[in-house]
Amino acid sequence: MNKQGKIVKVSGPLVEALGMQEAKMYDVVKVGSQRLIGEIIRLVRERAYIQVYEETEGLGPGDPVFLTGEPLVVELGPGLLDSIYDGIQRPLGRIREEIGDYIGRGLTIDSLPRKKKWNFTPLVKKGELLKEGDILGKVEETPLIEHKILVPVGINGKVESIKEGSFTIEEEIARVDGKPIRMLSRWPVRNPRPFKERLAPVAPLVTGQRIIDSFFPVAKGGTACIPGPFGSGKTVVLHEIAKWANSQIIVYIGCGERGNEMADVLLEFPKLKDPKSKRPLTERTILIANTSNMPVAAREASIYTGITIGEYYRDMGYDVALIADSTSRWAEALREISGRMEEMPGEEGYPAYLGTRVAGFYERAGRVINLGSKGVGGSLSAIGAVSPPGGDLTDPVVQQTLRVVKVFWSLDDRLAYQRHFPAINWLSSYSLHLSNIEQYLKREIDEEAPALREMAIKILQREAEVLEIVRLVGAETISKEDQLLLEIARNLREDFLHQSAFDEKDAYTSSSKQYRMLRLILLSYDLFRGLLLDKGIELKRILALPIREKLTRLKYIPEENLREFDQLEEELKKEVKELK
């Protein structure tokens, strides 16, 4: 770090320096006497443009800039889980313990604990031939997750030695092809981690949210976008996905969001139990907090820090869900830095390369066959919130995101004002993963599961058409059949799609229960429609059946008592038969 340049201009988080002939794009530098962390984002001859990830107050022309010769990297190894980091992977928990509540400028601290010892169990023997990406051994990182130690990228050869026992992450645990291997590794955040083959996503990421899983599912290894105006419930939906998704690892990035929202995550997650093991949910979660009061440039780094950590666990063969809240704040950071570099602005002031950056981020998601001779498979799903001003879906960030993601959950402030949550609009949302997971649903849930979804969507679409007619000419003009349809559509909206995140009995619904709920509501529509059209029975008599009241409480049937749905189905058929 003895080579250095000199600051000639400071513009907020952007610093210009001369004498940077030996610098390279995206190298990390230390700026000023306090050695603030920065990254080179533009080079013109010997002039470097540096985005500084800390407050630049006090910097001025003439201050030194020190070259490190390395890109921005994350530390990978045991100790990542159950941690909270800032945007450049400084551990906020350890900073508070060692230094206090505030992050000092220029502070450098190891991302992973160096003194802690981990019990390493080898899974290969001396003399075996290994390839990059093969699993050397394992460490019990938390009671929920086994951390697998991989042969680093670029190393292939014979195991010359391998140890068993307790080691720190910096101690040598094996030697392959003459090269020492430790539990600690580093990876540049802007470089996607390599894999052998990309596969099509075929299994759904089950979130426990009925409108998502039943109507607009996202597949494991897929991408989803959830835009919406202020107050429409984006963060609550993302919290629910983080709590209940059937991924083994959760990476939650709070990018430019309000500090109280990240505080809610920190307070809630330790109290939550993993549905399968009943252990604290934090034992399989990594939090990256870059709140709105933190330096704006670090928002850009936080997105890449999070997805690189996600790729690392994907390479172990795990299913990872990455949740970014929100990518709009990341795009705003790009716009601010671009403006300070005096680049030609694109639409609404965003840089012309906004679409490339958004696509590059989401393209790192996927279901893959990882490096290594055994071809272990893993997946990384990316779900990003977008916060367009005023809920305007023509916002450039929304439009650029929709070009690359496969699932669109459109939040509607009108639904939120009606206290309908999740406020995902079923008429404007879509999922392009339906065809991918259709065979899975037929095999694992029921043969008619996809058909039920189509029927429910058609009822809700027809409801919108009928309500438009009612607004124009009055309710008395619609047919009895349409009146029945409105009643069933109300059941779908209020008793199936409406779901409380704060009611323990309603916050999570398994795929099997969702199917049974939907099947019973739609069966009642078929049977009631038969009574109305074929038998000529009055609509008010049909709607007065006692079973109707029970159909409004399906969500409260316990997961362990799903046989009650069979009893209700028999009761429904019996009441319909007696009414005939």
In the chain, what are the domain boundaries? Answer: 4-70, 113-183, 197-434, 449-579
- 207-218 pLDDT tens trace: 999 999 999 999
Angle (CA) 167 172 176, round 5°:
135
Structure tokens belonging to residue 541: 């008599």
Burial class of residue 493 in the structure, from the number of CB atoms within 10 Å of its CB (0-12 exposed, 13-18 middle, 19+ buried): middle
Is pLDDT at 580 greater than 70 in this prediction? no
**Angle at alpha carbon of residue 372, lines to 366 and 376, rounded to 5°:** 50
24/472 Cα distance (integer angstroms): 66
User: CB atoms < 10 A from the CB of 567, how many?
Assistant: 11
Q: What is the pLDDT of residue 261?
A: 75
pLDDT of 1 strictly over 60: no
User: Which pLDDT belongs to residue 140?
Assistant: 94
Residue 541 has pLDDT above 70, yes or no: yes
DSSP H or E run through 76: strand 73-76
4-70 CATH choice from 3.30.70.3040, 2.40.30.20, 2.60.40.420, 3.20.20.70: 2.40.30.20
DSSP symbols for 314-349: HHTT-EEEEEEE-HHHHHHHHHHHHHHTTPPB-GGG
What is the overall mean pLDDT for the chain?
91
- Amino acid 443: pLDDT: 94
What pLDDT sits at residue 276? 67
Q: Predicted confidence band at 299 (pLDDT cuts at 50, 70, 90)?
A: confident
- Token pair 């083959």 is at which residue? 197
3-class secondary-structure state, position 576: helix
Higher pLDDT among residues 540 and 274, named by residue: 540
- At 567 the three-state DSSP class reads helix
197-434 is classed in which CATH architecture? 3-Layer(aba) Sandwich (3.40)
Q: Which CATH class is domain 113-183?
A: mainly beta
Q: What whole-number distance in Å separates Cα of residue 297 and Cα of residue 28?
A: 13
CB 185 within 8 A of CB 152: yes
Contacts of 578 (CB under 8 A, 6+ apart): none
| Residue 263 pLDDT exceeds 90 | no
Half-sphere exposure of residue 487: CA atoms within 13 angstroms, side-chain side: 20
Dihedral over Cα of 569, 574, 579, 580: its sign: positive
Contact 187, 76 (CB under 8 A): yes
Query: What pLDDT, on the 0 to 100 scale, is given for residue 355?
Result: 94
pLDDT of 4:
86
- What is the per-residue pLDDT for 262? 77
Ramachandran assignment for 145, one of left (phi > 0), alpha (psi -120 to 50 degrees), beta (any other): beta
d(CA 431, CA 130) in angstroms, rounded, equals 40
pLDDT at residue 535, as a whole number:
87
Q: What is the pLDDT of residue 187?
A: 96
Residue 533 contacts by C-beta under 8 Å, 6 or more apart in sequence? 481
pLDDT value at 300 more than 90:
no
Kindly report, residue by residue over 357-392, the tens digit of the pLDDT. 999 999 999 999 999 888 889 999 999 999 888 888
Beta strands in 92-242 (DSSP E): 118-122, 129-130, 135-140, 146-150, 157-162, 165-167, 172-176, 179-182, 185-188, 197-199, 223-227
Topology of 449-579 in CATH? Answer: 1.10.1140
Phi-psi region of 300 (alpha: psi -120 to 50; beta: other; left: phi over 0): alpha
Average of per-residue pLDDT across 517-532: 95
The mean pLDDT value for 84-105 works out to 86
Dihedral (CA of 144, 147, 148, 152) sign: positive
Tell me how far apart the alpha carbons of residues 531 and 538 are, in angstroms, rounded to a whole number. Answer: 8
Residues in the chain: 580
Structure tokens at 554: 């399906």
Compute the Cα dihedral for 246, 219, 252, 370 and give only its sign: positive
What number is the average pLDDT over the span 151-164? 93
- Give the DSSP letter of residue 212: I
Cβ neighbours for 427, distance < 8 A, ≥ 6 positions apart:
460, 461, 464
Residue 403: burial class (beta carbons within 10 Å; 0-12, 13-18, 19+): exposed
Query: Is the CB of residue 342 less than 8 Å from the CB of residue 400?
Result: no
pLDDT in tens, 13-56: 999 999 999 999 999 999 999 999 999 999 999 999 999 999 99
- Picking from 103-107, 304-308, 485-489, which range would have the lowest pLDDT averaged per residue? 103-107
457-508 tens-digit pLDDT: 999 999 999 999 998 888 788 999 999 999 999 999 999 999 998 888 899 9
pLDDT value at 164 more than 60? yes
